[in-house]
Amino acid sequence: MNEADQQILTAAVLSEVGSGVPMLWIHYLSIGGSDSEDAIAAYIDGQGVLPVKERDLLSQALNELVMDSPLSLQAPCSDTPLALEPGS
């Protein structure tokens, strides 16, 4: 999955579950993330980029936060294929 698709889908999950960047950022740090809250906010807003490792940690953190949600949403990781990609 390319970075732009991962960013858009991660931001959509965050918006859909009604969570905010501060809570996501704190959990992201607790599982080993290292970027600033401003960098995460910029990424979620489509105004910044993150390295693959940090994008995947952010997706993991978000997925852990929403796992008890009644919605079955998941933020994708960099190796998650899009349904529209050839061979997926």
* 53 pLDDT more than 90: yes
**Distance set, CA 9 to CA 30, 73, 82 (Å):** 22, 10, 11
User: Half-sphere exposure (CA, 13 Å, Cβ side) for 38?
Assistant: 0
* 85 pLDDT more than 60: no
Sketch the domain layout of the chain as residue ranges: 3-65
* 87 pLDDT more than 60: no
Quick one: average pLDDT of 34-53? 97
Task: Tell me the two tokens of residue 61.
Answer: 């953190």
Instruction: Give the pTM.
Output: 0.89
Average pLDDT over the chain, rounded to an integer: 91
**Distance set, CA 50 to CA 26, 27, 47, 58, 86 (Å):** 17, 17, 10, 10, 25
pLDDT of residue 73: 86
